[in-house]
Structure 1
C-alpha cells in the first residue's frame, strides 16, 4: 500500500512538472489576453459546457417544449459569418498574404506590428471556438437530440482545448494555416446556416447544400497536404513540430469521416432522415459536416404541414 501511494505521488509530481514546464513556455505576448494566463478558465468553461449538454440541458428540457429560437439563430449565424471574415482577413494581413512562403514558416516571436497582429488573430480564432459552443446549446434548447452526437461534442470541446495550447506556444507560423482555412469554410457554412434558419422562403437559395460536404473535404485535403510537406523538407526551423503532427492527424481523420459520408449520401444514395433539420451521419461534427444545423422553425413547419396534408389525403 505504501509503495502504491509513493508511485501515485511520483506520478502526480511528474504531472505537475510537465504542467509547470508547459506554463513556463507561454508566449509572453499573450499573457495580457483574456483566459491566456493558465488553462484553468478555459477548462472550466469546457467542463460547464459538457455538464450542460450531457446532463443539465437534456434533464431541464425533458418535460418542456422546444424553444423557438429563429431570430436568435439568424443573428448568431450571421454574426459568425462577419467574425470569420475578419479572422480570415487578419490571418492574410498578418503573414499569409504578405511575408509567408506557404511552406516552412516559423513563428515570428518579435514585437513587430505584424507579429503582434498575428498574435491577436490567433487569440481571436481561439475565442471564436468558445463562441461556437452555442451551437450545441441551441440543439439542446430546441430538443434536437439526434444532432448532439459524440463526435459533435468531441469536436467542439477538443478543438478549443488543443488550440489554447497551440496559440500560447506558437501563435502564428505554418501551424496557423489550418485556422485560416477553417475560418474561410466557416464564412460559407454559417452563411448557409443563417439562410436555413430564416425559414422556408429561403430554401430555394440553398440548392448548394450538397457541396458543403465537398467544401469540407477540400478543407481537410488542403490542411493535410500543407502539413505533409513538413515531412519532406530537408530542414525547417518551425519551432513546434508536434503541432504539425496533430494537425496532420486531425485533417486526415476528418477527411476519412466525411469521405465516408459523401459515399453513403451521394454515391450510394442513402439520404439522411429529416426532422426539421437533417441529422448528422455517423455522428459527424455538427458545425463541420455541411449539413444544416440551423434549418428549423419555418423549415420544420413547412415539412410538418406537408406531412399533415399527406395524412389527410390518405384518410
Structure 2
C-alpha cells in the first residue's frame, strides 16, 4: 500500500498547521472539507436553545419515549464502536501513553484511528439531539449552562482535533469520552423506559464521578505533553485539552456538589 511521509505538515507555517491545512486523508468526508457545515450546525443549535422553549410555550409536552429509547441505544452503540476501534488501533500501533505523535500515513492502523475519530466527531453532532428532547418534552430546567456549554463547545473543539490531529494524543481524550458515554447513554436509555426503572438507576451518582475522573485523566495526560512532551504532537492542542477539561471539571463538580451534597443534607 502506498504511504506518505509521516508528517506532511512538517514545513508548514503556524497558521497552516493549526487553522487552514487539515489532514488530506479526510478530503471528501462530510463536515471535514470545510468548517462551514459545522458552524452552521453550531449556530442552529444555539438558535434552537434560544427559540425552542418559546415555541413550546403554547404546546403540550410531546411523548417521546420510543424515540428516546431508540436514540439513546444508537448513541450508546456508536460510542461503543468508536471506543473499540480507537483502542484496537492504539494497541496495534503500540501507542505510548506518555506522548504519541499523529501518524498521517496510509497505514491501515493509522486509517483505523482516523476513521474512529471521525465517527467520534459525528457522535458529537448526533448528541445535540439531547437538547431537542428536553425542549419538546418541556424539560427546560434540564437545559442548564453546563448542558448547553458542554454540547455546544464540544462540536468545534472536536472538529478542530479531528481535522488537524486525528490520532496520537487525541486518542486518549476521545477514547475516555466515548467510554464514559457508553454508560451515560445506557443510563439515559434505561431512564427513558419509565419510572419503574428507577430502582435500577442507583448508579447515577457514580456516573458523575466517572465523568469527573475522566476530566482529571484527560487534563493530566495533556498537561504532561504541554510540559514534557517531545514526540511532535502539537502542544497547542494539548493545552486546549487542559483548558477545556478544567472548565468541564469545574462545571461538573459544581453540579455534583449541588445535586448530591444537597440531597445528603436534606
Unaligned runs of 5+ in 2: 1-13
Task: Please list, as runs of the form range in 1=range in 2, the aligned pairs for 1:146-185 lying within 5 A after superposition.
Answer: 146-185=141-180
> Which residue does the alignment assign to 1:238?
232
Deviations 1:167-208 (A, max 9, x none): 111101112311110000000110011110001221111111
1:24, CA displacement in angstroms?
Answer: 4.0
- Compare CA radii of gyration and give the structure with the larger one: 1
Q: Please give the secondary structure, in 1, of the residue aligned with 2:219.
A: helix
Whose RCO is larger (CA < 8 A, sep 6+)?
A: 2
Confirm or deny: 8 A CA contact 1:265 1:271 kept in the other structure.
no
> Which residue does the alignment assign to 1:94?
89
Give the TM-score normalised by structure 1: 0.75
1:252 to 246, 249, 260: 246
2:220 to 222, 225, 241: 225
The answer to whether the aligner puts 1:106 opposite 2:101 as a matched pair is: yes
> Which residue does the alignment assign to 2:23?
27
Q: How many residues align?
A: 254
Task: Please list, as runs of the form range in 1=range in 2, the aligned pairs for 1:1-315 lying within 5 A after superposition.
Answer: 24-55=20-51, 57-96=52-91, 98-233=93-228, 235-269=229-263
Give the TM-score normalised by structure 2: 0.88
Unaligned runs of 5+ in 1: 1-17, 273-315
1:256, CA displacement in angstroms?
Answer: 2.4
Q: Please give the secondary structure, in 2, of the residue aligned with 1:129.
A: helix
Q: Distance in 1 between matches of 2:208 and 2:44?
A: 30
Q: Please give the secondary structure, in 1, of the residue aligned with 2:247.
A: helix
Deviations 1:19-47 (A, max 9, x none): 88856411100112111111011111111
Superposed CA RMSD: 2.2
